[in-house]
């Protein structure tokens, strides 16, 4: 009998945001023939061979994915990363926000491949305008202590956290994969560009 190999990089999708600017749970908004979070989760699953949602399990129980809650509720994306690293049985962990519909397999494969023989504690893409993209990045489990310490000291913003997470910065030639949907205007513009129904 053949046994499948365990995942080398675990995949996580953050769905814990309030979606206050969207006015509804953007993770569950219709996207193609499913939902936005299912679209993103399937890409992460393809890249890693595994995917877990990080958010409120009772909200996403109808979806075909395991969902884990935050360790510390209402702590933003950094709290979601803490939950992912706490639950993971892999050294490396790909973490992607649910509202990035334009991410590509090429980008996710690059992030996963970069973990090979990487001595850093995290791998964070940088778009051409110099912006860090910590919500489509890879984190080693050894970041957990630093993430928990930052949360304990009141840090919530990812831009404040990244300098403490031993990151290597990975330049990416296009900002398009990192476009996130925060408002209905963002949503409509993306649907027009991508010819979504």
Domains and CATH numbers, the chain: 9-194 (3.90.550.10)
Q: What is the pLDDT of residue 92?
A: 97
pLDDT digits (tens, 9 = 90+) for 30-42: 888 889 999 999 9
Confidence (pTM): 0.90
Q: What is the pLDDT of residue 25?
A: 75
pLDDT digits (tens, 9 = 90+) for 154-177: 999 999 999 999 999 999 999 999
Do 140 and 112 touch, CB atoms closer than 8 A? no
Q: What is the pLDDT of residue 20?
A: 47
Render the chain in DSSP notation, one character per residue. Answer: ---PPPPSEEEEEE-----TTTTS-GGGSEETTEEHHHHHHHHHHHHHS--EEES-GGGSTTSSSEEE--SSTT-HHHHHHHHHHHH--SSEEEEEETT-TT--HHHHHHHHHHTTT--SSEEEEE-TTS-B-TTEEEEEGGGHHHHHHHHHTT---HHHHGGGTTEEEEE-S-SGGG----SHHHHHHHHHHHT--
CA-based nearest residue to 150, from 140, 142, 139, 162: 162
Query: Please, where are the H alpha helices in 49-180?
Result: 76-87, 105-114, 144-152, 158-161
Burial of 82 (0-12, 13-18, 19+ CB in 10 A): buried
Do 42 and 14 touch, CB atoms closer than 8 A? no
């Amino acid at each position: 009998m053949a046994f499948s190999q365990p995942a080398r990089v675990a995949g996580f999708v953050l769905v814990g945001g309030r979606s206050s600017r969207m006015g509804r749970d953007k993770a569950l908004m219709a996207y193609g023939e499913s939902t936005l979070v299912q679209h993103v989760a399937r890409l992460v699953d393809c890249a890693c061979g595994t995917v877990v949602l990080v958010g409120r399990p009772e909200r996403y129980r109808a979806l075909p994915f395991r969902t884990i809650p935050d360790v510390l509720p209402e702590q933003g994306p950094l709290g979601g990363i803490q939950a992912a690293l706490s639950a993971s049985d892999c050294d490396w962990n790909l973490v992607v926000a649910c509202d990035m519909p334009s991410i590509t397999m090429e980008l996710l494969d690059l992030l996963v491949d970069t973990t090979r023989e990487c001595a850093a504690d995290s791998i964070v893409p940088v778009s051409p305008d110099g912006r860090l993209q910590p919500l489509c990045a890879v984190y080693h489990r050894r970041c957990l202590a630093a993430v928990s310490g930052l949360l304990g000291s009141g840090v919530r913003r990812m831009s404040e956290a990244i300098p403490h997470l031993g990151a290597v910065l990975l330049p990416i030639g296009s900002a398009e994969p990192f476009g996130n949907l925060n408002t209905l205007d963002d949503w409509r513009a993306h649907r027009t560009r991508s010819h979504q129904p």
